[in-house]
Amino acid sequence: MTNTLYQAGHITLVGAGPGDPDLLTIKAMKAIENAECIIFDNLVSREIRQLFPQSAQQIYVGKAKNHHSSTQDEINHTLLNCAQQGLRVCRVKGGDSFVFGRGGEEMLFLAKHGIKVNVVPGITAASGCTTYANIPLTHRGLAQGCTFITAHADKDLSLNWDALATLNQTLVVYMGLSKTQWLRDKLSACGMCPSTPVALIERGCTPDQRIVTGTLETLTQLKEQHAIQSPALIVIGRVVSVSQQMSWLEQLQQTDNNAQPIKLSA
């Protein structure tokens, strides 16, 4: 029986997760292995790209800030052309393609042209990177919810900043590295305490992952002092203190392990 996931002329939209190939779902891995053409983004990690079958045509359509190799319209038509050639096409995106990944736009464009699209969900960066950084998105007594936003927009974001600044929640900012001062000023002006814990997670879920923690007041200073580079995720909220506590406990455990045995008196 033929699986519709692998039929010629169909496109499978795969969320590859935040970087670690072990976080790929079985369904995502099957789609990649059976693809004749793989169209992939900049945020798909090197380790995941190494899993692409050599027999498949590989087309890079990555986009980075100020360095777009392909416009979204060009990507849409590349997908359409490959599908119309009767190829089994796998469109691989970092994270989850429906979370700030424009996967919905691509799916609708292809559907309008009569192309069947299958969607495979992936672990989004907000979930994967925070977990690898020991930061729970929700935690009893610290955060009863979480909100994901993107700071990547041509104009000022139409968000309820008063609610974002005052609700007892975790705020995760995608693509916000170039707007750290703007985020700090916006949230502070709306009532968020300057001492609110923040974390910058660079290249999360990869061997190069770095985590820097501080406060909302020092957000830009942290970025500049540690030369944080994209891709990076910004986490704002009291849950960051859980990661800081874990680091302290780990250091304490290492100290205890290195300590000399205590001699008890007879």
What positions carry a catalytic annotation? 41, 63
Residue matched to tokens 């501080």: 214
Cα(195)–Cα(193) distance, integer angstroms: 5
Which residues are within 8 A (CB) of 92 and not within 5 positions of it... i.e. 6 or more apart? Answer: 14, 16, 32, 38, 39, 40, 41, 44, 48
Query: Within the chain, where are the H helices?
Result: 26-33, 46-49, 72-84, 103-112, 125-132, 161-166, 180-189, 219-225, 240-258
Assigned token pair, 177: 């590295």
The secondary structure of residue 112, as a DSSP letter, is: H
Give strand pairing partners of 118. 12
**Sign (positive or negative) of CA dihedral 43, 46, 51, 54:** positive
Query: Exposure of 29 by Cβ count < 10 A (0-12 exposed, 13-18 middle, 19+ buried)?
Result: middle
Give 53-93 as a DSSP string. Answer: -TTSEEEE--EETTEESS-HHHHHHHHHHHHHTT--EEEEE
The secondary structure of residue 216, as a DSSP letter, is: G
The secondary structure of residue 48, as a DSSP letter, is: H
